[in-house]
Amino acid sequence: HSALTQPASVSGSPGQSITISCSGTSTDIGAYNYVSWYQQHPGKVPKLMVYHVSNRPSGISNRFSGSKSGNTASLTISGLQADDEADYYCSSHTGGGAYVFGTGTEVTVL
């Protein structure tokens, strides 16, 4: 499986909402409701923000929301804050117990 396709960068002003897309195929995103989103600040380990398409782990702000339509998943960050500036990666189950990450998106808070 090739990496899922994400925009290289997305930016927004504080308080605004942004959406990061994650494009896959009918054999990964389109086939399973097992899409996760990870946030990674520079030099840090990834942090789970959304799992199973739209579920938030305990402690994750409701400003982060996930969705899926067909072969594309999305992560929306509302009320953008300075600390949201980071890299974001989607991932999806691809069948047979395997997974694939997206290409990653750098979020900039203007």
Partner 1 sequence: QVQLVQSGAEVREPGASVKVSCKASEDTFDSHFMHWVREAPGQGLEWMGVVNPSGGTAGYAQKFRGRVTMTRDTSTRTLYLEVSSLRSEDTAVYYCARDSSSGWFSVDVWGKGTTVIVSS
Q: Which of 62, 82, 96, 110 binds partner 1 (CB under 8 A)?
A: 96
Complex with partner 1: residue 34 or 71, whichever CB lies closer: 34
Q: Is 81 helix (H, G, I), strand (E, B) or coil?
A: coil
Element (H, E) at 60: none
6, 21 in Cβ contact below 8 A? yes
Complex with partner 1: residue 32 or 63, whichever CB lies closer: 32
Residue 94's alpha-carbon distances to 12, 16, 79, 100, 103, in angstroms, are 31, 33, 32, 7, 15
Q: Which of 18, 22, 29, 36 binds partner 1 (CB under 8 A)?
A: 36
In the chain, the amino acid numbered 34 is: Y
**Which residues from 38-57 bind partner 1, rule CB under 8 A?**
38, 40, 45-46, 48, 51-52, 55, 57
Q: Which residues of this chain interact with partner 1, rule CB under 8 A?
A: 1, 3, 32, 34, 36, 38, 40, 45-46, 48, 51-52, 55, 57, 87, 89, 91, 93, 96-104
